[in-house]
A and B are shown apart, each in its own frame.
Chain A
């Protein structure tokens, strides 16, 4: 049961990669990257989880069984970075739509 979180993370990553490979809409590709990011974040948080433990705040802590704080710090950083990446990709998708009038990834000018 404790491995459920890793299975879920692996599924999210797989779904995201599959969508990035097969979807032709640029917005959907951005969503795919975001899903991969969520999967990786879930995995990171999962590595630090301990059953029956509390948040790692020492002030007035009822017990010393705490979850690992480092993965949470890593996840927080990575969420912020992913947000920036997704925002930037969406703005590029918007600009591409302004110039080409389409969001289809098959409508591309750069090849060969």
Chain B
């Protein structure tokens, strides 16, 4: 059996199988679950990288599940099976999910006592994320979103002993399941009219009837909820804030997977629609609100994780803004080449950068909370000398999220500022103002946590296995900041091209 030919299915199946092997593994040996989950994720990462290498060279990989041969995609002239479809855009999000999940799992080895349950849920989460970015049809999207929802709810409530994590998980589950049911409803609306569930096939036949418009609105609202756009962001601050640090880092990439679905659906299904301007402006409004309200909520927080959670909302706003600007000019070739392509490139580059610095910040917050035993900023202080490495990584993450050169956040924000400026100077000015407020709130965190009086004397630096994932992410942040053009040429431009070139996506199925 050619392993690489089945890589799309294996990348989802291996975390899934490893997750259900966890209870057996924990019976065999106490340490086996940890080793098994790291091994499974490392193998998944290799599969994703090999798929990405093909996808970034411009190939669209399709895989028909359950067919005699996986490339038997459209036997009857139209897709009848569940089809996985991987182009450069899916590959970008898949790499982000797999890499951050692997590092977050390595980070959490030290903290988790009874590993099998934690790692089983974490592996299910990875399967859900990869499934969401690989799937080519709208019903599997629903299934993978629910897989992701259930496993992440279990992880959010993982630290028992306090009531708050259960409350956060309950709220997350209520809103996510309602959002997912709306996605299922829109799948039913499409199926009832066209007898199709495949996105690529749907894009060809969509007639924009009354029911189609309702379905598209439901999809947009549900996915905006899942990626945490204001005013649908309420669950984000609860869930990210109460989850264990490594889970918060994984939730960041999970919400990016929803962002992928939002981008894919708004570009492929709306692409030629008469209502494209409306949806583009909806994304822009979501983006601007998320940026501004997110950061102004963040600056007043006293809980370190909750503060960072609001920043995650705020940074998602930048990506929505870039995508909205590109979508607004998609039928205007002159404007598209002038700034539209740059806007979506900036947006996708920001996805990569955001996953890196946001997960680094959550991991440093986890290290601080682990050593101090409190998450209240008013009760912290004086850690810079005791935990120099954590402090250094925090500074790198904070400067990157604030968009200061030479860190990676600046490179993507630079693309966004200047392309959005050509579309509307006011939006660009808001984006810059938000960056300044981001810096202000991280100055507050740095002052409160690392400077000032020592609140606890017997604090040590966290162990090496906790520092190592943080160090890897910090190095990536600096390298991506110093050599942005390599990332841009190798990853971001193919991904933006794949998003804009709808015929390549639809043509590979039909």
Contact = CB atoms under 8 A, between A and B. Distances in A.
- In the complex, A touching B, CB below 8 Å? yes
Contacts of B170: 26, 89, 92-93, 96
B226 to A, nearest CB: 14
Contacts of A81: 143, 146
A99 B195 CA distance: 48
Contact of B191 (A71, A84, A112): A71
Contacts of A53: none
A85 interface: yes
| Chain B contact patch, size range | 35 or more
B178 A88 contact: no
Contacts of A93: 170
B28 interface: no
B143 A33 contact: no
A85 B146 contact: yes
Contacts, number: 95
16 contacts: A33-B177, A33-B181, A47-B191, A47-B192, A68-B195, A71-B188, A74-B139, A74-B184, A74-B191, A78-B142, A92-B153, A92-B173, A99-B162, A109-B163, A110-B171, A110-B241
Interface string B138-167: 010011001001100110010010111011
A92 B157 contact: yes
Contacts of B184: 40, 44, 74, 78
Which of B154, B178, B238, B297 is the most central at the interface, judged by chain A CB atoms within 10 Å of its CB? B178
A96 B167 contact: yes
A20 interface: yes
Given A74-B139, A85-B149, 12 more contacts: A26-B170, A68-B195, A85-B150, A88-B153, A89-B170, A92-B153, A93-B170, A95-B166, A96-B167, A110-B164, A110-B168, A112-B301
Contact of B178 (A20, A71, A84): A20
B181 A40 contact: yes
Contacts of B297: 112
Nearest to A42: B188
Contact of B188 (A43, A84, A88, A110): A43
Interface in A85-108: 85, 88-89, 92-93, 95-96, 99-100, 108
B166 A33 contact: no
Interface residues of A, number: 35
A33 B162 contact: no
A89 B241 contact: no
B166 A96 contact: yes
B174 interface: yes
B201 to A, nearest CB: 14
A29 interface: yes
A54 interface: no
Contacts of A33: 174, 177-178, 181
B169 interface: yes
Interface string A63-83: 000001011001001100110
A66 B234 CA distance: 45
A37 B167 contact: no
A99 B153 contact: no
A91 to B, nearest CB: 9
B114 to A, nearest CB: 17
A43 B186 CA distance: 10
A28 B146 CA distance: 21
A112 B237 CA distance: 9
B185 interface: yes
Given A26-B170, A85-B149, A44 B163 contact: no
Interface string A39-71: 010011001000000000000000000001011
Contacts of B149: 85
B178 A17 contact: yes
A20 B181 CA distance: 14
B242 interface: yes
A20 B174 contact: yes
A44 B181 CA distance: 11
Given A33-B174, A71-B191, A85-B173, A96 B163 contact: yes
B284 to A, nearest CB: 27
